[in-house]
A and B are shown apart, each in its own frame.
Chain A
Amino acid sequence: MKQNANPPIEKFDVIVVGAGPAGNAAAYTLAKAGKKVLQLERGEYPGSKNVQGAILYADALEKLIPDFRDTAPLERHIVEQRMWLMENASHLGTHFRSDQYNQQPGNRYTIIRARFDKWFSDQVQKAGALVLCEMTVSELLRDETGRVIGVNVDRANGNIYADAVILADGVNSLVASRAGLREDIKPANMALAVKEMIFLPKETIDARFNIQGQEGVVIEMMGSITEGMLGTAFLYTNKDSIAVGIGCMLADMKAQKTTPAELLEKLKRHPSIAPLIAGGETREYAAHLIPEGGFDALPQLYGDGWLLVGDSAGFVNAVHREGSNLAMISGQLAAETLLELAAAGLPASAANLARYKARLDDSIVIKDLKKYRKLPDMLHKQPQFIGDYPGLINQAAFNFFSVDGRDKQTKEKEIITAFRERRSLFGLLGDAFRLWRATR
C-alpha cells in the first residue's frame, strides 16, 4: 500500500521560494539562526534554472559566509576592467588594470552560476534548511484574513504551511503575480539578455587577455552593437571558457523586431571581439530577463506573511550591472527582519514587515536604485546617448589617430564640427546636464 497517504501537515517557520542568490541568502541566514526553514526550487537542482553573466561581487557574500573563498567554485578574480564604446568596425575604450586586485581578498570574481548556486545551496543545507528541488509553487495559501500562511506545490498533497513566505522566485515571480502581490512584468521594465559560453583552453585565454593564474578580465560594451536600442554587452573570462552576451530592453527589441540571437551573432563577429573568441566551442546558450525598471518600477515589497527579495522584487542596478549582490543583501535583510520579529515575539504582519522596507531603504539596495532613478527614462527619451555618441567618439578617434598629412588643428575642428552637426552646441550642453542630473 502507498505509504504516507495521509501525511501529517508540515509546518515551517519560513518557506523560501527559489534557490537563487536571494533565496539562498535568506534561507542560509534563517537556518543558521536555528529556524525551521524549507526552501523550494522548481529546477532539478539549485542553479539549473539560473542564468547570469556572471560576476560575483564578494562583499554581499562575504557578509553571509566570510570564508566563502575557501570552498566556493570561483573562476577568476578580475584584475582588469575594460569599457568599450563600439562602432561597427572599431571600439574606443578604457582599460583599468591593477595589481592590487591580485591581493587577497579578491573583490570581484567570474563564476559559473550552475556550479556556484549548487555550492551556495550546499551551505544552506549544511546550515540546516531543508531544500527540495523539482517543487514548483503553484500558489500561496491564505487564511480568511488574506494573510499568507503557506504555499501549494504542484504535486499531490501539496499544501505546506509556514509563519512567513519569502518569495525569491526570480524575475518572472509567477507566484507573486498570480497572487496579485505585484503586476505582471512590463516589457518597458525588462531587459532581455542572451549569452554563450565559449570554451577555449586556459592557456589560450591567458594569452589573449594577457593574464595568468586566476586573473580575469571583464569587458563591458555599449554602442552600435545594440543597434540604437538601450542595452549593453559583456565579455567575461572564466577558467577555460568565455562568457559573451548582450542585452537590450525588451520593449526596444519588440519595437525594432530584433531577436537577441541576431545581436549576439553580430557581436561575436565584431572585429574587436571575433579574435578573442576565435576557435572556441560554444557549449551553452542561455537567455534571461533582467528587471531593469529601477526604482520607479519597484512593486510592494512585503505584506501579511510575505516578502519579496532579489529579482522578483526588481532589485537590479542596470547601470553598474549589479543584481546578484543586491539579491543576496535583500535576502539577508528579509531574513534578519523575520529573526528580529521572532525574537520580539511579533507576527509577520504587514505592519511589522515594514521593518524590512526600512532596512532596505537604509541599504545599498534602495540607495543605489534611487540614485539612478531617472537614468533609464532619460536614456529612452534621449536616444543620442546610445545612438550617436559612441559612433561620433569612434570617428573622432579614428580621425585623430590617423596620420594622413593634415595638421592637428584642422582635425580637431573637424571633430568638433562632426559633434555639432549631429547634436547642436545646446544639445551637447544639455546632454551633459541631463547625464549629470540623472546620475546625481
Chain B
Amino acid sequence: MNIVVCIKQVPDSTHIRVHPVTNTIMRQGVPAVINPYDLFAIEEALRIRDAHGGKVTVITMGPPPAAVALRKALAYGCDEAVLITDKIFSGADTLATSYVLASAISMLGKEQPVDLVFTGKQTIDGDTAQVGPGIAKRLDLELLTYVAKIVAVDQAAGKIQVERRAEGGVQLLETRLPALITMLEGSNEMRFGTAPDVFRAARAEIRTWDRNSAGIEDIKKVGLKGSPTIVSRVFGPTPRDEKAEQIAFDPAAPEVATAALLEKILADSPKVAKELARHQAGEHAGARHE
C-alpha cells in the first residue's frame, strides 16, 4: 500500500488568543502543532501499513518551519515526508490548497501509484473540512468523509470497507481504491514512536518541493491569487445576556433541587413543557389500553 497523509501545522489552540480589536487570531509566539485531527489520519495510515506493508508518506503545504510537523510525523513512524513550500503558495484558501496538494500527490503517484490518501476530518484553525474533498475531486479519488473505523482493506481486489459516522447512525461503506479518507477524531490512539524512529526523524532529510517539483501548472490557481474566498469580517460569538442561576442542592433531599430545576426549565421553554405534557398524556392513555 502506498499511502499519503496530508497534514497541516496549526497554532496550538490552547494558547490562541483573539485580538480584542481586529478579532483576528494572534499567532505570534503561539506554539505550532500538528492539526490534532490529522493525528488520527497518521495513526490509521500507519496501522494499514503495518498490516499490509508499503509506506506512509506525510506531506504538508506551508512555510519552511512546517518541517517541524513533518519531522514529528516521522518520529511517530511515517516513512517519508515532503514539504511543499513556495512563496507563491501563501494566502491560500481551501480551493488553492487542495489544488497544490492534489498536484503534489499526483507527482508522488508518478514515483509509485498512490492507493490511499488520508486527511484529518478538518483543521482546528480553518474548520472548513473542504481540503480533503477538494483533493479527492481533483484526483478523481473515491471520497469517504468522517470515517470512524477502517473495517477491512482488500489490496488484491482494490477495495476498502469503512464505518462512517453519519447523522442518525453509522454507515458501513465499501468502495474501490484509490480513495481519500478523512478521519474522525477519537477513531484511534496515536502510537508512541520507537526510539529508532525518533533518531531517524531527527536525522531525516526532508524533501522540499517548490511549485515546479510539486508539478504546479497554473500559478494563477495557487496562493492568494487562486483563492476566491474573502473573509469580510471576523467576530466572536456574542455572549448570552441572560444570567446563570444556581439552584441549591441538598444531598439529603435531591428531589427538591430536581423539582426546582425541572420547573425552571419548563417555565423557560413552554414548547418543551407542552411536548412533555402531551407525551405524559399519551403514555397514560397507552397504559389504560393494556
Contacts and interface: CB of A to CB of B under 8 A. Distances in A.
Interface of A: 1-4, 7, 10, 45, 130-132, 134-135, 153-160
Contact of A160 (B53, B193, B195, B202): B195
B192 interface: yes
B196 A157 contact: yes
Would you call the interface of chain B mostly helix, strand, loop, or mixed?
helix
A2 B55 CA distance: 8
B199 A155 contact: no
Contacts of B193: 155
A2 B194 CA distance: 11
Contacts of A158: 194-195
Contact of B198 (A1, A132, A159): A132
Nearest to B80: A3
B109 to A, nearest CB: 21
Would you call the interface of chain A mostly helix, strand, loop, or mixed?
loop
A371 to B, nearest CB: 41
Contacts of A134: 75, 198
Contacts of B205: none
A2 B199 contact: no
A365 B75 CA distance: 39
Contacts of B50: 2
A58 B31 CA distance: 28
A116 to B, nearest CB: 14
B30 to A, nearest CB: 12
B200 interface: yes
B62 interface: no
A1 B53 contact: yes
A3 B79 CA distance: 8
Contacts of A131: 202
Nearest to A152: B195
B223 interface: no
Contact of A155 (B49, B54, B194, B203): B194
A20 B195 CA distance: 21
A135 B195 contact: yes
Nearest to B46: A2
A131 B200 CA distance: 12
B194 A157 contact: yes
A45 B31 CA distance: 10
B132 interface: no
Interface in B13-63: 31, 49-50, 53-54
